[in-house]
Structures are given as structure tokens and as C-alpha cells.
Amino acid sequence: MSKQQPHKARKRFGQNFLHDHGVIRRIVACIGPKKGQRIVEIGPGKGALTEGIISVTERMDVVELDRDLIPILKVNLFRFPELTVHEADAMKFDFASLSTPEQAIRVVGNLPYNISTPLIFHLLSQANAIEDMHFMLQKEVVDRLAARPGDSLYGRLSVMAQYYCSVESLFIVGPESFDPAPKVDSAIVRMTPHKSLPYPVNDIKMLEDMVRIGFQQRRKTLRNNYKGVLDTDDFSALNIDPTLRPERLDVEDFVRITNYILKKEG
């Protein structure tokens, strides 16, 4: 077999390869894979995390966009015939197609910083097919996902992620654990979709719109942001103070606003 050429991380794919074995072991321990589970990894790279998981599960699906990495991955993990490689863009991939009524999928990955937020929204739209998600993300993104009402980073991403999931920030990973080293800290997050939504909304697109409008000008009050949408009587009926800023509202408040508007509009 000819010697493999080293693969240089590609900026356009947002590649930073995890090489710290201590961190890899810690991530695998947090995931807690079990034999027979359907685990799907996004952006496996050269298979560092993949190997730690598939050694337990004995089968695995991975979604990789960089076609030059796929032969390297297959060589590195040749001992695992039950590795299924999907050469695809995770932003367009149908993750739900890998689940069954009897078995939801578990999703893991070291997500590219440049697409992490839209990719999370893509996965949230398929949350009913997912048991849980464990991701390596830029620390600030994890802080935003896990932020609580009143926190400076609490915003649209926090509300929508927490509508679908419980969110736990697990631990921080420094730049030295990657090649090439990113300029910022990373963190591991666990997102567990709710078995049944604690605050179900009657129209998810309307909720997304209401959250977006609410945070469009986060330094302004709810009265200003929802001008033309909610009046003084509406705020009174909702028992929400219109002089508050949007970061003071929790998920339930945004759901109540949305369902109220839907009912009002008939």
C-alpha cells in the first residue's frame, strides 16, 4: 500500500482536527456509547473520535463533505466493516432517514465554526428522530446555547435550542488540542431533545418569527420591538411587562406570545 499523503486542514471546510487523546477519551465518556446504538458523526475528519465510539458500538454512520478525507478515514478504520460513510453536506443531509420508530439516532461531531449555528437549526428541525447530541463548538456558541434569561448571551439561539432540548455545557477544550489550533476556546455541549415539549407552540414558524423580532433590537423594550404586533391590552392579557427587554423572557413567554397572536388572528 502506498504511503498516505498528510491531509492539510481546509479553511473552507472549517477543519480543525482534534488530536488530544485525553480530550477524546473524555468526550467518549460523556457520550457513553453502547453496543448496537445508532450513532451518527458529523465531520469525522481522520477518525480520532470515530474510533473511540465505534470500538464500543461496532457500527456507525459518518457524514463527511471533504472527499479527500474519506479514503484516509476508511484506511484508519479498516478494522470496522460496519462503518458507513455518507459523502454529503451535513447542512442538507436527512438525519431522520437513519432513525427508525424503534431507535432514534445519537448525533456527535466537532462542528465547523463557520456553519455551526445553521447546522444546529437544521438538526433541531429533525429533533423528533434524535435521542441526544454531543458537539464540540466554539465556546461562545455553547455559552449562547446554554444561556439563561437575563444572561448577556441569551438570545434567539438560546430560545430555539431550549424549546426543543435541554442543554448542558460539559467542559472547555483549549486550542492546543487541535491541529491547526483555532484562535478561540472550544467547549463540549450535550443537547437532549425533550420527549414531549414542555411548552408546545401551535406554529413553529411563527415562534421563530416572534423570537427573531423580539431580539432584532435587543437593547429596546418589548413594546418597541413588538410595535404593530402587540398593544398595551395584549401585554396586559399576557401578563408580560412591555418595558422589559427581550432577554428577560423565557421560552414559555415566547411560546405564550406566539400562541396568543395565533388565537387573536383566528
Q: What is the pLDDT of residues 19-74, one digit of tens each?
A: 889 999 999 999 999 999 999 999 998 898 999 999 999 999 999 998 988 999 99
Q: Report the C-alpha gap between 124 and 197 in whole angstroms.
A: 13
Using alpha carbons, select from 241, 255, 69 the residue that is nearest to residue 160. 255
Q: Which of 174, 193, 212 is the last residue of a domain?
A: 193
CB 139 within 8 A of CB 113: no
C-alpha cell at 82: 460496519
Look at residue 11 in the predicted model and tell me its pLDDT: 43
Residue 199 in domain: no
Are 184 and 234 in the same domain? no
Are 40 and 98 in the same domain? yes
The answer to whether 143 is annotated as binding is no
Flag whether the pTM goes above 0.85.
yes
Question: In this predicted model, which residue has the larger pLDDT, 266 or 143?
Answer: 143
How much of the chain, in percent, has pLDDT values that exceed 90?
82
Are 61 and 128 in the same domain? yes
Are 152 and 186 in the same domain? yes
Which residues face 178 on adjacent strands?
A: 18
Which residue segment(s) compose the domain that 227 sits in?
204-265
Look at residue 141 in the predicted model and tell me its pLDDT: 96
The answer to whether 89 is annotated as binding is yes
Are 210 and 108 in the same domain? no
Question: In this predicted model, which residue has the larger pLDDT, 81 or 5?
Answer: 81
The answer to whether 179 is annotated as binding is no
Are 237 and 147 in the same domain? no
Q: Is the pLDDT of residue 9 over 60?
A: no
Are 185 and 219 in the same domain? no
Residue 25 in domain: yes
Residue 3 in domain: no
The CATH number of the domain where 161 resides is what?
3.40.50.150
The answer to whether 43 is annotated as binding is yes
Residues 6 or more apart whose CB falls under 8 angstroms from that of 241 comprise 222, 235
Q: Which of 159, 174, 193 is the last residue of a domain?
A: 193
Are 209 and 103 in the same domain? no
Q: What is the mean pLDDT of the chain?
A: 92
The answer to whether 247 is annotated as binding is no
Look at residue 46 in the predicted model and tell me its pLDDT: 87
Residue 223 in domain: yes
Look at residue 15 in the predicted model and tell me its pLDDT: 54
Per the structure, how many domains does the chain have?
A: 2
Q: Is the pLDDT of residue 266 over 80?
A: no
Look at residue 41 in the predicted model and tell me its pLDDT: 98
Using alpha carbons, select from 134, 132, 142 the residue that is nearest to residue 172. 142
Residue 214 in domain: yes
CB 216 within 8 A of CB 225: yes
Are 251 and 145 in the same domain? no
The answer to whether 119 is annotated as binding is no
CB 224 within 8 A of CB 231: no
The CATH number of the domain where 217 resides is what?
1.10.8.100
Are 96 and 227 in the same domain? no
